[in-house]
Amino acid sequence: MITFLWPLAFLALPLPFLVRYFARPADPGLSGALRVPFFKSVFGGTSVGAGAENRNLWKLALASLIWVLLVTALARPAFVGPEVPLPAEGRDVMLAIDLSGSMDEQDFAVGGLPSTRLHVVKATADTFIESRKGDRVGLVLFSDRAYLQAPLTFDRNAVRDLLDEAEVGLTGQKTAIGDAIAISLKRLKDRPENGRVLVLLTDGANNSGVMEPLKAATLAEELGIKIYTIGVGAEAMAVNTRLGQQLVNPSADLDEGVLREIADMTGGKYFRATNVEGLATVYREIDRLEPVAGDPVHIRPEVALYYWPAGAALILAALFALILVVPTTFSRRHSVAGG
């Protein structure tokens, strides 16, 4: 669709005619008046013949067209395209997911059937990632060591696919919580403040890596990066032993004290998820505490078109000048030759 960004410019269209109508005629007795050699060729001199009148009308029409084109260019015509979305300026959310051997424990149930912790974590985290519309989301996976699986990106589907491909024990059986925090901070530290969040999920205690969790949390506190920690695993599970079926605590290795301290130091919050519903509730609570930015902003791209009428006016003005000058020059040369 073609529109004009400055439509009020068209109010200038009658300006030359108004000036011509209201301007007081010059006193013919004034001395020192400006002499225009081709004045007669523009206005036809004193000739009143039909040919002179036609030439005057033709020149007036051409001059008027030039003025209309100039005013049209001043009104800034532009082609406005359909609306396109711009990503809203949201948060930077990094997910750190534990892949240690204990994440293969089947102490969760889905549809009445036993399910591994990682399987449930994938399903609930997938919903969480999909809901972060307008945010940049990244993924860090850790066990014996931590590594960046997906940098911060608006492509949430790519992050979901990479999380779905994760497997227990991919890099070992232990738990490097401190290293996971450190790698996440490395990606978050250069992002704008007041929107940097790390969601760390684990089912154990730090027993690997080079960075202590509380030291990494101190760095996060200094950088102003908020950390939400999630401890997963059931509190009781029936297992068959030689002495019969007994209840055990499959989450005995979970270091809730450190996870709670990490969250408190950085202004986040610690959550405990003992079943599928509880983990889904945790992610919904994080959504509430860190609301998404909202729908993308829509804009209409504009392509400027003012140079077309401006260029046409320039070409016509040059042609008009040639029409005025060339006959006058020719007439002078002919007069000189005749004299």
pLDDT confidence of residue 60: 82
Residues 263, 168 share a domain: yes
Residues 275, 232 share a domain: yes
- Report the DSSP beta bridge partners of residue 137: 93, 153
pLDDT confidence of residue 56: 75
Domain count for the chain, please give it: 2
177 domain residue, yes or no: yes
Residues 209, 63 share a domain: no
pLDDT band, residue 46 (cuts 50/70/90)? very low
What is the pLDDT of the chain when averaged over all its residues? Answer: 84
Residues 105, 164 share a domain: yes
Residues 70, 136 share a domain: no
Q: What is the DSSP string of 21-46?
A: HHSPPPPTT-SSPPP-TTHHHHH-TT
123 domain residue, yes or no: yes
Residues 285, 307 share a domain: no
% of the chain surpassing 70 pLDDT: 79
This prediction has a pTM of 0.62
Residues 187, 206 share a domain: yes
The domain containing residue 323 runs over which residues? Answer: 1-10+47-82+300-339
Residues 201, 105 share a domain: yes
36 domain residue, yes or no: no
pLDDT confidence of residue 229: 97
Residue 335: pLDDT over 50: yes
Last residue of a domain, one of 289, 311, 328: 289
| CA distances for 154 relative to 33, 138, 157, angstroms | 71, 9, 9
37 domain residue, yes or no: no
DSSP 192: P
Give the model confidence (pLDDT) of 269-317 as tens digits.
Answer: 999 999 999 999 999 999 999 987 655 566 777 888 888 999 998 998 8
189 domain residue, yes or no: yes
pLDDT confidence of residue 119: 94
Average pLDDT over residues 244-255: 77
Name which residue leads in pLDDT, 48 or 103: 103
pLDDT band, residue 244 (cuts 50/70/90)? low
333 domain residue, yes or no: yes
End-to-end CA distance of the chain: 62
Q: What is the DSSP string of 44-91?
A: -TT--SHHHHHHHHHHHHHHHHHHHHHHHHHT-EEEE---EEE-----
Residue 199: pLDDT over 90: yes
128 domain residue, yes or no: yes
Residues 329, 307 share a domain: yes
DSSP 7: G
Among 54-68, 153-167, 184-198, 200-214, which stretch is predicted with the lowest mean pLDDT? 54-68
Residues 94, 69 share a domain: no
pLDDT band, residue 169 (cuts 50/70/90)? confident
Specify whether the backbone of 260 is left (phi greater than 0), alpha (psi in -120 to 50) or beta.
Answer: alpha
Residues 266, 150 share a domain: yes
Q: Domain with 166 in it: what CATH number?
A: 3.40.50.410
Residues 242, 110 share a domain: yes
33 domain residue, yes or no: no
